[in-house]
C-alpha cells in the first residue's frame, strides 16, 4: 500500500495526517501531545497512539520534534537552503523521518516547522519561489525566498509579547480576561500608531495605552485589540525600516485565517500588497519532501527545481 503518515509535531500539539497515494489527506488526528506534554511512555507511545489502526506507511515529521528537547535533535541547515537541500538532509532512524530546521547566521536566527510550510507553499504556488513570506504566530517569521531557496529570515516575538503585556503588565490591569478580539477600530488605531512612530518605534507608544484608557479615549475592553494592532503594526514598520525583505512583489501569508486577516488589515495601512492567504501548507511540504527523498512508492516525476507538486 502506498501513502504517507505526515506529522506536524510542535511544542504544544501533535497533528497526524494519513495521506493517500495522491497526496490527499484521508484522515487527520490531533492530540495535545507537544514535546512538553507527552503521555506515559513518551514520544514512542504518543506516535503509536495517534497512528493506531493506520496501515504501515512511511512516517515523516517536522517541527520541534527535531529539536534538542524533541525525539532526537536534527541539526539545522545553514542558509541558503531550499527544498532539495532539506530533502537531502532528512534524518531517518527508528522508523521515523524528521525534517531539519534552518539556521540564519545573520542574527543568528532559527526555525523548525516553518521550513516545511514554505516547501509546501512553493509546491502549491510556483510564483512563491521568489517572494517574501510571512508566517504570523507566537513567533512570527518573515522569510525571503530567491529561486526556491530561503536566503534570509527574521523572527519577531509578536504573539508572545502580546500575551505577556496583556496578562502580566500594567496594560492588562482592568481588562476582563474573557474579552476576545472584536474592536476593529481600536486594532487599526494601534496599527497606525506603530506606523507613525518613526525611528522610535511602537515601544515608545506602549505606555500611552494606559494613558488613553485613563483619559477615557480607549475602553478597557478595547485594549487587547489596540495592543494587537500596535505590535503587528510594529512588525511591518520595523521590516520596512530594515529593508531586509523585498517589497516589490505581493507578500505571501501562511497561517490561521483569522490571524492572517489581521495582518492583511495591517498591511493595507502600510500600502503593502498581499497574495491570497494560505491556511495550511505543512502537509504539502511533508509530501513533497517524502517524495523527493524516495520514501514513497510514487513514480510520477517531481521537478528538480524543488517547487512542483
List pLDDT tens digits, range 263-293.
999 999 999 999 987 888 999 999 999 999 9
236 has pLDDT over 80: yes
Strands (DSSP E) found in the chain: 4-9, 14-19, 25-31, 59-62, 77-78, 81-82, 91-93, 96-98, 102-104, 109-111, 131-135, 140-146, 149-156, 252-253
301 has pLDDT over 50: no
pLDDT value of residue 86: 98
**Do residues 254 and 275 lie in contact, with contact meaning Cβ atoms separated by under 8 Å?**
no
pLDDT value of residue 309: 39
Mean pLDDT of the chain: 91
Percent of residues, the chain, with pLDDT higher than 90: 80
pLDDT value of residue 96: 95
Tell me what the mean pLDDT of segment 120-124 comes to.
96
DSSP state of 275: P
Instruction: Report the C-alpha gap between 309 and 298 in whole angstroms.
Output: 12
List pLDDT tens digits, range 155-180.
999 999 999 998 999 998 877 766 66
pLDDT value of residue 244: 87
Tell me what the mean pLDDT of segment 191-203 comes to.
94
- 176, 118, 173: which is closest to 148 by C-alpha? 118
pLDDT value of residue 303: 44
List pLDDT tens digits, range 52-72.
999 999 999 999 999 999 999
DSSP state of 204: G
pLDDT value of residue 183: 82
Tell me what the mean pLDDT of segment 118-128 comes to.
95
Q: With the CA atoms of 260, 262, 268 and 274 taken in that order, what torsion angle do they form, in degrees rounded to the nearest 10?
A: 0
109 has pLDDT over 80: yes
pLDDT value of residue 304: 33
Domains, in order of start, for the chain = 4-125+282-292 (3.30.420.300), 158-269 (3.30.420.310)
pLDDT value of residue 306: 41
Amino acid at each position: 500500500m502506498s501513502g504517507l503518515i505526515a506529522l506536524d509535531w510542535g511544542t504544544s500539539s501533535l497533528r497526524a495526517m494519513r495521506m493517500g497515494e495522491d497526496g490527499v489527506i484521508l484522515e487527520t488526528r490531533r492530540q495535545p501531545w507537544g514535546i512538553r506534554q507527552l503521555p506515559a511512555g513518551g514520544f514512542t507511545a504518543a506516535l503509536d497512539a495517534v497512528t493506531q489502526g493506520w496501515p504501515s506507511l512511511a512516517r515523516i515529521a517536522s517541527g520541534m520534534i527535531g529539536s534538542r528537547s524533541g525525539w532526537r535533535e536534527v541539526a539545522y541547515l545553514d542558509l541558503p537552503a531550499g527544498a532539495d537541500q532539506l530533502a537531502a538532509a532528512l534524518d531517518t532512524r527508528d522508523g521515523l523521518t524528521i525534517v531539519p530546521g534552518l539556521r540564519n547566521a545573520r542574527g543568528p536566527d532559527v526555525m523548525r516547522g516553518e521550513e516545511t510550510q514554505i516547501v509546501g507553499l512553493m509546491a502549491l504556488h510556483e510564483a512563491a519561489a521568489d517572494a517574501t513570506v510571512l508566517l504570523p504566530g507566537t513567533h512570527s517569521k518573515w522569510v525571503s525566498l530567491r529561486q526556491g531557496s530561503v536566503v534570509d529570515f527574521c523572527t519577531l516575538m509578536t504573539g508572545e509579547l502580546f500575551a505577556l503585556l496583556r496578562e502580566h503588565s500594567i496594560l492588562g490591569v482592568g481588562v476582563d480576561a474573557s474579552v476576545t478580539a472584536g474592536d476593529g477600530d481600536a486594532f487599526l488605531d494601534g496599527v497606525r500608531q506603530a506606523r507613525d512612530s518613526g525611528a522610535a518605534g511602537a515601544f515608545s507608544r506602549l505606555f500611552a495605552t494606559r494613558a488613553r484608557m485613563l483619559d477615557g479615549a480607549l475602553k478597557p475592553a478595547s485594549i487587547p485589540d489596540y495592543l494587537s494592532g500596535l505590535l503587528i503594526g510594529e512588525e511591518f514598520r520595523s521590516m520596512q525600516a530594515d529593508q531586509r525583505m523585498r517589497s516589490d512583489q505581493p507578500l505571501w501569508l501562511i497561517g490561521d485565517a483569522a490571524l492572517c486577516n489581521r495582518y492583511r488589515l495591517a498591511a493595507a495601512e502600510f500600502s503593502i500588497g498581499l497574495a491570497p492567504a494560505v491556511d495550511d501548507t505543512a502537509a504539502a511540504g511533508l509530501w513533497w519532501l517524502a517524495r523527493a527523498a524516495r520514501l514513497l512508492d510514487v513514480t510520477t516525476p517531481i521537478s528538480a527545481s524543488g517547487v512542483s507538486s
